[in-house]
């Protein structure tokens, strides 16, 4: 039975603070990424290719991850293995695989905002709406109860994608399509592992999963980029290698912005991961996570429109985003109502003297 202590009830609301942190990190992350990709920073003569931007942002994310986990003192929650008599934090095979999925999510999210001809809001409709659709599917696979509201929200999410596509022609290249596909596949696997291993009443299990996943994700990402740039001969490989060798000769402002993108990216990973690791069902946690990012994407787009004279979001994009938020509201309402009803139900079960004492207070 779950505790009814004040600390337990406050923990139920921590997800909203995590969601705010996700929003606060996501706005500058997406806006600055788009600004560098489109060459909007003063002094730039052209945009920076997405694969050239990834190495610097990935290395900054790696530093941010180690700094956060160390500052929180969470290394102690990770599993341990001995090597040459020295104990090291070590992931399990499941958190290792989840870390690989996260290593795929990080660069695909950054790349999504670097494609020309495709807006932030439209890519968010594809990626955020897609994960929203995945949430009840993961719950079914995990044998968790899926309420009728989830199916209503699924229909709304699909409607939002249709509206976002309508009336426009987008330059969706093969790379852009593959980026979205990899992002959604990685999220599906990651949510499955989270549901199985970490979504429980044990706070240590959540922290253990978080640390073990994070300690894999960013190092693997940097290694993948090194292999892509150092061993390939394609234009993508050349652009990636340039990100390691030539990018830091750029003007200091551009380098500073790229490092900031990496740190903000890690911030979205930290707060977004903590939202998803909440003990409640995915049909609650995913909408909270998606709401933060959709609102952040709109805020970033409006910021670019206001400060950099970029295009204002189109009516289909705005309508699609509103429908996604409506789907989020449909999914979240039952859980929020249950949280509000739970204290009253528990009070009704108290002995009469206890209830009278509560009323008197």
- For residue 89, list its beta bridge partners: 80
The model's pTM is 0.80
Confidence of residue 356 (pLDDT cuts 50, 70, 90): very low
More confident residue, 5 or 230: 230
Give pLDDT tens digits for 277-307: 988 888 888 888 888 887 888 888 888 888 8
When comparing pLDDT for 43 and 2, which is higher?
43
Q: Which residues are within 8 A (CB) of 224 and not within 5 positions of it... i.e. 6 or more apart?
A: 103
**Burial class of residue 194 (count of CB atoms within 10 Å of its CB; 0-12, 13-18, 19+):** buried
359 has a pLDDT exceeding 50: no
Of 28 and 323, the one with more pLDDT: 28
Q: What is the mean pLDDT of residues 31-50?
A: 85
pLDDT at res. 144: 79
Q: Residues 139-174: pLDDT tens digits? A: 888 887 777 777 787 788 778 777 766 655 556 678
Between helix 14-37 and helix 252-276 the angle, nearest 10°, is 150
Residue 102: predicted pLDDT: 92
Q: Is the pLDDT of residue 2 over 50?
A: no
236 vs 76, residue with greater confidence = 76
- Please return the burial class of 163, using the count of CB atoms within 10 Å of its CB with bins 0-12, 13-18 and 19+: buried
């Amino acid at each position: 039975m779950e505790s009814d202590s004040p600390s337990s009830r406050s923990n139920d609301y921590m997800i909203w603070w995590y969601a705010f942190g996700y929003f606060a990190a996501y706005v500058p992350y997406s806006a600055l990424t788009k600004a560098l990709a489109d060459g909007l920073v003063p002094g730039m003569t052209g945009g920076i290719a997405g694969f050239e931007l990834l190495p610097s942002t990935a290395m900054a994310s790696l530093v941010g991850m180690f700094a956060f986990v160390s500052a929180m003192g969470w290394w102690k929650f990770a599993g341990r293995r001995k090597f040459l008599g020295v104990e090291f934090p070590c992931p399990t095979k499941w958190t290792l695989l989840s870390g690989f999925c996260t290593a795929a999510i990080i660069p695909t999210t950054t790349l999504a905002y670097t494609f020309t001809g495709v807006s932030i809001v439209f890519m968010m409709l594809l990626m955020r709406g897609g994960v929203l659709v995945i949430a009840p599917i993961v719950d079914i696979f995990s044998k968790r109860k899926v309420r009728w509201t989830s199916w209503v929200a699924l229909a709304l999410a699909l409607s939002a994608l249709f509206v976002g596509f309508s009336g426009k022609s987008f330059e969706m290249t093969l790379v852009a399509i593959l980026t979205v596909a990899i992002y959604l596949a990685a999220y599906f696997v990651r949510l499955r592992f989270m549901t199985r291993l970490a979504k429980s009443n044990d706070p240590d299990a959540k922290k253990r999963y978080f640390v073990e996943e994070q300690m894999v994700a960013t190092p693997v990402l940097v290694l993948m980029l090194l292999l892509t740039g150092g061993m390939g001969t394609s234009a993508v490989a050349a652009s990636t290698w340039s990100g390691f060798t030539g990018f830091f000769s750029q003007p200091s402002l551009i380098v500073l912005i790229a490092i900031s993108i990496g740190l903000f990216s890690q911030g979205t990973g930290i707060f977004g991961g903590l939202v998803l690791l909440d003990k409640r069902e995915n049909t609650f946690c995913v909408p909270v996570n998606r709401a933060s990012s959709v609102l952040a994407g709109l805020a970033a787009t409006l910021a670019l429109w206001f400060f950099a004279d970029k295009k204002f979001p189109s009516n289909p994009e705005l309508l699609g985003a509103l429908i996604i938020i409506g789907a989020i509201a449909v999914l979240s309402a039952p859980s929020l109502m249950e949280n509000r009803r739970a204290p009253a139900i528990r009070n009704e079960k108290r002995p009469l003297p206890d209830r009278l004492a509560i009323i008197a207070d």
